[in-house]
Each structure stands twice: as C-alpha cells, then as structure tokens.
A = this chain, B = another copy of it.
Amino acid sequence: MLTPDRISLNTATVREQWSLAECIEGCQRHGLGGISPWRDKLQEMGVTKAAQAIRAAGLTVTGLCRGGWYTAEGRLTPAVKDDNRRAVDEAAEIGADCLVMVVGGLADGSRDLPGARAVVEDGLADTLDYARGQGVKVAIEPLHPMYAADRACVNTMGQALDICDRLGEGIGVACDVYHVWWDPDLKAQMRRAGPDRLMAYHICDWLVPTRDFLTDRGMMGDGVIDLPLLAGWAAEAGFEGLHEVEIFSAEDWWRRDPDEVLATIVERAANVC
C-alpha cells in the first residue's frame, strides 16, 4: 500500500513512448517521488540539462541504469572500464542513489561461467575504486538465472553479497523482485544486505505464462509475486527507499498511452504493493 511519493519510475517502463524530459514531466504530473533513468535516455537529453530538470522537479534519483557488461569483450578491457567510469560520472552528476550494475554474461563463444564471474568481480573492483572517489554507490543487480548466459552471471542475492563482502565499502545490491522472487533464501539475504547494502528495490510482476524471456514483465498485481510479503521483508531489512517500477513489456505496456501506464502504477501501488 504505497503512496505515489514512495514510487520511482524506471524509464524503461515507458521507453518506447517517452523521452527523459517527458518522463520527468510525467512523474511530476502523477505525483511520483522519484525517477531512475537509463543512460541512453540520459545522454539523449544531455546529462547536465537532465540533472537540472530532475532537481527542479524535486525527484529523487533512485538509480542510474546501468553500468556493467564487463564480459562484453571477453576480457576486462580499458574500453569497458572507461565506459563504467563514465557511468559513475553520470550517476554523480544526476545525484543518483546508486549506479545499477548488470554485470554481463558469458563472452561470445565461451562456456566458462566461473571465468566470467572472475572477470565481473575484477571489473566491479575497478569501478568501485573510481566510484568511491566520486561519492557514488555501486549496486550489483542479480539477474534471474535465465539470463546467466547472455546478460548477467550474478544470479542470486547471496552471490552478489558474497562479492560485496569481498570488495568492501560502497557496494551493495539492487533487488529486483522479478529476478529474485523465487529464491528460497531471499528473506535471509535481504536481512544480510541490511539498509546500507540494499541500495535499490525494483518492482513489477511475473506473468504466468511468460511469453518472452526479456520483454514480458507484468504490471504489479497482474502476476504471481506476493509483493506485500516481499516489501515487508525489505522493510524489515531496513530498506526505506522508494520502490522503483521497471516493466519491460513489448506487447502491452510499451504500447499504451504512457499517462495510462503511470496512472495504473499509482493505482496498483495503492492497492496491491
């Protein structure tokens, strides 16, 4: 039962319809408390101009999506490191609560999952070192195991927190219910993360059936995730931030009037979250 000021809009939710400027205006119009831009939309608007507009609108920036993809070139290259440092700079400029990391999966043609995980940890260490200097927090987003090969080889909260334990201060997790709702260890791992390391909390729903691996996420209430239960666990773990709505939905929500999408988010936040 969330009021609109407890909700943040991840721009992916209306990425087919709105520019970042339109997202900012939409958040204001619907009374949302925050926004989380993707880098493509941020760069399109211009980082400085976007930062000013977000501040003027009084929106909390719950995250910047996204850094990571450390395995994109098979090994940790200067280009990959540099791109992540630019992401840190952008996160700093817009005052994002954290830089969300989708870490990358197996390199092309590789079957070496332990190797990919080692590359990812080296990459995170490099980005974290730079991010500490810029005052930016780094949030690993564990992705659903169905993305282990092609998007992210960090697949559970426990695995992400093990990395955080090894890397130290300034790094935590972005917990997206879509990726972790199935995990029997979820409650315990939220508690283990605690308020300092539970840096972002993303919501949507898991549809049954799910028709596409990437772009068939559901609006809250349309699927099977017990959102109030999980929100309770996050609160017990000390999370007090906004709930960020991130819905990839090629056949449904990306085709609707974006004001209808935001109105629906506000209604569902009040009634099913």
Contact = CB atoms under 8 A, between A and B. Distances in A.
Interface of A: 106, 110-113, 117, 144-146, 148-150, 153, 155-156, 159, 181-184, 206, 208-210, 213, 224-226
Contacts of A226: 111-113
Interface of A is mostly: loop
B117 A224 contact: no
B159 A184 contact: yes
A149 B184 contact: no
Copy tally for this chain in the complex stands at 2
A225 B111 CA distance: 6
Contact of A210 (B182, B206, B213): B213
Contact of A224 (B106, B181, B182, B208): B106
B209 A213 contact: yes
A226 B109 CA distance: 12
Contacts of A110: 224
Contacts of A159: 184
Given A106-B224, A111-B225, A146-B146, 8 more contacts: A110-B224, A144-B145, A145-B182, A145-B183, A148-B182, A153-B182, A155-B182, A155-B183
Give the 10 A-B residue pairs with the shortest CB-CB distance, closest first.
A148-B182, A145-B182, A111-B226, A146-B146, A159-B184, A149-B224, A149-B208, A145-B145, A111-B224, A150-B208
Nearest to A106: B224
Nearest to A145: B182
Contacts of A145: 144-146, 182-183
